[in-house]
Every structure is written in C-alpha cells, then in structure tokens.
Amino acid sequence: MKLLVIGGTKFLGRYVIESALARGHEVTMFNRGVRDPTLFPEIERLRGDRNRDLSALEGRRWDAVIDTCGYTPGMVFRSASLLADAVGHYTFVSSLSVYKNFAQPSPDETRPVGTITEEQLREAEQSEPTPDGIPAQAYGEAYGPLKALSEQAAERAMPGRVLNVRAGMIVGPHDYSDRFTYWVRRAARGGEVLAPAPPGRRVQLVDVRDLADWLVRAAQERVAGTFNATGPDYALTFAGMLEACARAGDADARVTWADNEFLLAAGVGPWVELPFWLPDSPDEPEDAGANDYFFHVNCDRAVAAGLGFRPLVETARDTLAWDGTRTPDAPLRAGLAAEREAELLRAWHERSRK
C-alpha cells in the first residue's frame, strides 16, 4: 500500500509511520518539517503548511491517507478535496471530545455531538496558528465541535471512503501531554501518592502503538464509518492504572485517596494537575453529570473491527523508559509539583485528624 501520512513526527503520526513501515508499506509524509526533520530518513518527505500551502500534494497518487492533525473543517475539507481523486481511502483522527456531554452511560457513536455558532466557526477558521500549526481558536470548548465538523467535512469531500476515528486518551512513549507520564513517573518515585477518590473510578486510555497499528490495518482494509477508539477492553479503574504504573517502576507507592470536595476546595486543577480526574463543577449545577461517563465510552465497534490492547504494565514500562531519556529536571506539562503534592497530603491528613 502507498500511504500518505499528514503529520508524522509528534506522537501518533510517528507510530503510524513505524507500523506502516513494519508492514512493508510505502510511506510518504507531509508536514511543515519543523519538528524532528531528520526522523524517518528512509521515507519520502513532502513539505508544506496545510493552513496555507498544499501544493506539494498536487498531481500525486496514494492508496490511502491518514490525517493525524486536522483541527478545523476548512483545513480538513481542503486536504480531503484535493486528494479525493488521488486516494482511495481517507482516515481522519478525531476525538471523543466531539460528544455533547457524558451524563449518560456508555456513549456510542450515535450520541449527539457538540455544536458551535457560525461566528465561533469563522473565528476558528480565521485565527492565526500556534507554533504547532494549530489554529489558536481550535483549543478549549470549541475543540470537540470543530473535530465533529471536520469529520463531516472529510465525509463531504470523500463520501463513503472515510474512516473517522474518535480517539480517547492516547498514551505511551513520546506523549507530549505528559498526563499518563505523570502517573508513571510519580508511581516510580514511590512513597505516598495523592490521587482522586474513589479508587474504583473508571479510566480509559489506549496505547499509541495499538491505535497506530489499527489505523494502518483499517486503512489497508478500507474500513469506513465512525468509531470510538479507546481502551482497554475491560473495566480499568484508577487504582488499577496506578498499580500498573507502580509495577512498571518496581516501586513501593502508597496511594492516598482524597475526595473531590477536598481537592476542589484546595484549588487543584482537574485534568492538568491531576490527570484523568474530571469532577463536575459544583458552581455549574446545570452541567451536573456532564463528565460522569467520559471514561465509560463504548468501543465495541472498534474492537470488533480489530482494535487490540497490550497489557497496561507494558505501556507504563515503555513510557517510563522513554521518560528516562529526557532531561531529568525538565518539568512535566501535567501533574502536581512535588512540593504542591506534599502540601496537599499534609492538609488532607490534618483534616482527617479533626
């Protein structure tokens, strides 16, 4: 298969390319050439900026394309339209954030998606890109609806030939978000670890290599339609995730579970300071329950279509090994600083003694 990968060096894209090469496919990579320009010297590189210049893609043909970095419908429609007569299949990597809310259990692909106003869409399409090439307005509340509109744009350009993959939390080596990496590194340090109660809180995540391998196989088989794609294929709890992280680092980590009320009162930032923690805000009762089932997503369709999962401890071990190659004192993009965690633990124990 001749495969075009849009993106290709940051996280998911690099593993899509690795998987494709391991399967003997011929790969072309299209991106700006800004990040890791020497990565994959054996493949063809096409340079351009999908926000402004797609000319490098003109007059070429591929069997399939995997788009790992589309953020607005205009961006996706331009590339899919240009390639409509040049490829047989288009994979667009979307997000579970497309869904309007998570107040009901087991959301599947039929659930309503979020919407934005025409003005918000126009602002997103016209906003200047960040250094990562992402339109500035594509962050925040508009992120999910823009992904949903991008799915529709790809389908409009290539009806019946598009695979829209609504990915959940993608984790593993080279994860630039550091959300899972924080827990792996923290558990490996051992000692008392602060975590959000209850221990049985559900979490979902997917190893980047498992997702990438499935994307390549699905493109080869020309699978079309919309699929939720996260894992694992069993009910993983927060306690189970931390146990796997501790096993990966062979560490004596003792978890202290603090409740939502304490953490919110202490000003702990959900998702960023404590990754995978998504409590509902007590200040917004109209949104009560909106996050309850974010980690209860139904992925039966993707599993039936071949999405598989390696043991979580393997993911944690490989993430820890990769993290060890980075500058030791480099701050993580997510998670509590050690001093902040120690302060919170002291406050929790003092409260418990009263």
Instruction: Look at residue 345 and tell me whether its pLDDT is greater than 70.
Output: yes
Confidence of residue 34 (pLDDT cuts 50, 70, 90): confident
Within 50-201, where are the H helices? 73-83, 118-126, 143-157, 179-189
Angstrom distances, CA of residue 220 to CA of 79, 144, 154, 164, 172 = 20, 27, 18, 15, 24
Mean pLDDT across the chain, nearest whole number?
93
Query: Which pLDDT value is given to residue 101?
Result: 85
Residues 140, 169, 343: CA angle, nearest 5 degrees: 75
Q: Which domains does the chain have, with CATH numbers?
A: 1-167 (3.40.50.720), 172-204+234-295+311-354 (3.90.25.10)
3-class SS at 241?
Answer: helix
Counts of helices then strands in the chain (DSSP H, E): 11, 11
8 A C-beta contact, residue 316 and residue 246:
no
Give pLDDT tens digits for 305-339. 999 999 999 999 999 999 999 987 778 999 999 99
Q: How far apart are CA 271 and CA 250, in angstroms?
A: 26
User: Considering the entire predicted model, what is its pTM?
Assistant: 0.95
With residue 89 as reference, give the H or E element that holds it: strand 89-95
Q: What is the mean pLDDT of residues 58-79?
A: 96
Tokens encoding 321: 């090994």
Q: What is the mean pLDDT of residues 106-116?
A: 93
Give percent of the chain with pLDDT exceeding 70: 97
The residues, any chain, with a CB within 8 Å of residue 16's CB and separated by 6 or more, are 5, 8, 66, 68, 212, 215, 216
8 A C-beta contact, residue 244 and residue 205:
no
Instruction: Look at residue 282 and tell me whether its pLDDT is greater than 60.
Output: no
Instruction: Look at residue 187 and tell me whether its pLDDT is greater than 90.
Output: yes
Give pLDDT tens digits for 127-186. 887 777 777 777 788 999 999 999 999 999 999 999 999 999 999 999 999 999 999 999
Confidence of residue 285 (pLDDT cuts 50, 70, 90): very low
8 A C-beta contact, residue 312 and residue 244:
yes
Instruction: Look at residue 209 and tell me whether its pLDDT is greater than 70.
Output: yes
Q: How far apart are CA 332 and CA 334, in angstroms?
A: 5
C-alpha 328, offset from chain centre: 24
3-class SS at 186?
Answer: helix
Give pLDDT tens digits for 222-274. 999 999 999 999 999 999 999 999 999 999 999 999 999 999 999 999 999 99
